[in-house]
Amino acid sequence: MKRIVAIDGPAGAGKSTVAKIVAERLGYTYIDTGAMYRAVAWKTLRHDGAVTDAAILHAVRDIDVQLSAVSGTLHVTVDGTDVTGEIRSPEVTHIVSRVAALGPVREKMVELQRAMAASGKVVMDGRDIATNVLPNADVKVFLSASVEERARRRCKEMQAKGYDVDLDELQKEIAARDKQDRERAISPLRKADDAVLIDSTGLSIEAVVERILELCA
Ligand code: DC
């Protein structure tokens, strides 16, 4: 049985949904690294004033980010405050790619992520897990889907949480975030050479989960 599963891909490809189920089925811990960058973005926004690189670096300096599973839901705390819901807000989403592009932010998060994976039995999802965080992962998946499909999924998800969102706007935001994540200088979003590509456009969640479990067998 493989012990470390890395799932990378662009926003809205279904990574967190399938990674969580795969982790449950394997009895592994699920680690959502995007939530950690969102936590830094959340803390940056707590301070009054403009979002500058200096403000982001100040927020990350002594941040305490904790991920924990409570009744099957992943909870995120920042310096002791539960921010599970707030890190999904449009305000956080709007600045998170910029936050995640800064070297000192990535260094700190990658260090935490490696420590979380040290004892194995983890499913970790993000953008640079197979290429940078855990290059020795046993299973590497690059999960993608068309931008239209990804925007539709995010739209449903946000509406279910009570946000008033516009599909066209969301598609533009996702495309812009992809571009920023793919073109940044440090650890850009890309498929590792040895990762298996799964295009989830038109596939059910269960079909994607089954495919990944086959790779883990
Ligand atoms: O998966 P998500 O939308 O919650 O990710 C939030 C942002 O964090 C996204 O813009 C990309 C960035 N990210 C990253 O740079 N590296 C990771 N390993 C995970 C997320």
- Catalogue all structural domains in the chain, each as residue range(s) with its CATH number: 4-208 (3.40.50.300)
Segment 87-124, tens digit of pLDDT: 999 999 999 999 999 999 999 999 999 999 999 999 99
Ligand 1: distance of its center to the CA of 127 in Å? 6
Q: Examine the pLDDT at 204 and tell me if it is beyond 70.
A: yes
CA of 91 to the centre of ligand 1 (A): 15
Which distant-in-sequence residues (6+ apart) come within 8 Å of 2 by Cβ? Answer: 138, 139, 215, 216
Question: Ligand 1 centroid to 189 CA: how many Å?
Answer: 9
The whole-number pLDDT of residue 113 equals: 97
Q: For position 151, what pLDDT does the model report?
A: 95
Q: What is the pLDDT of residues 117-145, one digit of tens each?
A: 999 999 999 999 999 999 999 999 999 99
- Around ligand 1, the residues with Cβ closer than 6 Å are 11, 33-34, 37-38, 96-97, 100, 126-129, 177, 181
Single-letter residue type at 202: G
Token pair, residue 186, equals 């440090």
Mean pLDDT of all residues belonging to the chain: 94
Mean pLDDT of 49-56: 95
Task: Tell me the per-residue pLDDT of 143-200, one tens digit each, with 9 for 90 and over.
Answer: 999 999 999 998 998 899 898 889 999 999 999 989 988 999 999 999 999 999 999 9
Closest by CA to 215, choosing from 107, 131, 143, 111, is: 143
Q: Whose CA is nearest to atom 10 of ligand 1?
A: 97
Query: Mean of the pLDDT values across residues 10-14?
Result: 91
For range 37-63, the mean pLDDT: 95
What band does 1 get if pLDDT is binned at 50, 70 and 90? low
The backbone region for 62, taken as left when phi is positive above 0, alpha when psi lies in -120 to 50, beta otherwise, is: alpha
- Residue with the smallest CA separation from ligand 1 atom 3 is 11
